[in-house]
Structure formats: C-alpha cells, structure tokens
Amino acid sequence: MYSTELAEIVLIVEDLKRSARFYRDVVGLVPENEPDDGWAWFWAGEPGQAQRVALRKGPLLFEEESPFPEGERWGRVHYAFNVPREKLEEAAEHVRPKGHTVHGPVYFDWMKALSYYFYDPDGNLLEFWSPEQEGDDS
C-alpha cells in the first residue's frame, strides 16, 4: 500500500481580496505569491513544503461533473491548523482583535487535544488544534 499526505485544499470564496487578507492577517498564513483576479495561494506549514491553501474566485476543473446542482456544488467546510501548544493561546488572541469571534477552548479527551474555533469571511469553520505532546502536563 502507498501512503499519501495532504498537498492542498482549495476554498471557493466570494471576495478574493478580502479572503486573502483574512488568511494572511488573521490566520497567519504566508502567501506563496500575490493574489490575482482568480487565485491566492498560501503555505499551510513551512514555506516551500507541499501543504498549501488556495482561495479561488470562479470555477474549478471538472466542476460541471459535480453531482450537485449549479450554485450548490461547493459547501462550507471545516478544517484545522496544527498549532504548537505553547503558541495556541497567542494564535487565538491574534484572531480576536481583528473582529472575529473565537470559540473555545475546547478540550477533546479522546484525542488529547485543545482547540479554538472561528469562521472565515465565507463561513468556513477554522480550528487552531493542538494535540498534547509526549511529556506535556497540559
């Protein structure tokens, strides 16, 4: 069997410039390049590594093949960014003064992780997620 890892996630957005500012200034992602009329790409981890988040204003390849009707082909999503435990509070506090409500913290006993949640301008639920590390007293 082969193994895979996430390479990118593409979010359909209403206002590309607004969403690009949000992901840069609020979430703290590093832009891969300057946004154009249709795309904005960000590194979701170390710049130059495989994981990226893209914002798209307009259609995607094979969108016409979706089993859902036009206008309903893409839904809101939830996804999490892994944040080291020692930086988790700082990450949540960075979001609040930018005018976004932060929910949490929520502790998940079953996965031994602490999380904060907030929404992007397009209604996607984001999470700053921090699992306990070996030897953590948290």
Radius of gyration of the chain (CA): 16
* pLDDT value of residue 7: 85
Contact present, 31 and 24 (Cβ < 8 Å): yes
Alpha carbon dihedral 69, 70, 71, 77, in 10-degree steps, equals: 60
Mean pLDDT of the chain: 89
**Comparing 102 with 46, which gets the higher pLDDT?**
102
**48: confidence class by pLDDT, cuts 50, 70, 90:** confident
Fold match, 1-60 / 75-138? yes
Mean pLDDT of 109-121: 94
Mean pLDDT of 118-132: 93
Q: What is the CATH number of domain 1-60?
A: 3.10.180.10
Q: What is the CATH number of domain 75-138?
A: 3.10.180.10
* pLDDT value of residue 137: 57
Mean pLDDT of 8-21: 94
Mean pLDDT of 111-127: 93
Instruction: Name the least confident of 18-32, 55-69, 121-135.
Output: 55-69
Alpha carbon dihedral 103, 109, 114, 115, in 10-degree steps, equals: -40
Contact present, 67 and 75 (Cβ < 8 Å): no
* pLDDT value of residue 136: 62
Q: Taking the model in full, what pTM does it have?
A: 0.85
Domain ranges, ordered by start, for the chain: 1-60, 75-138
Contact present, 86 and 75 (Cβ < 8 Å): no
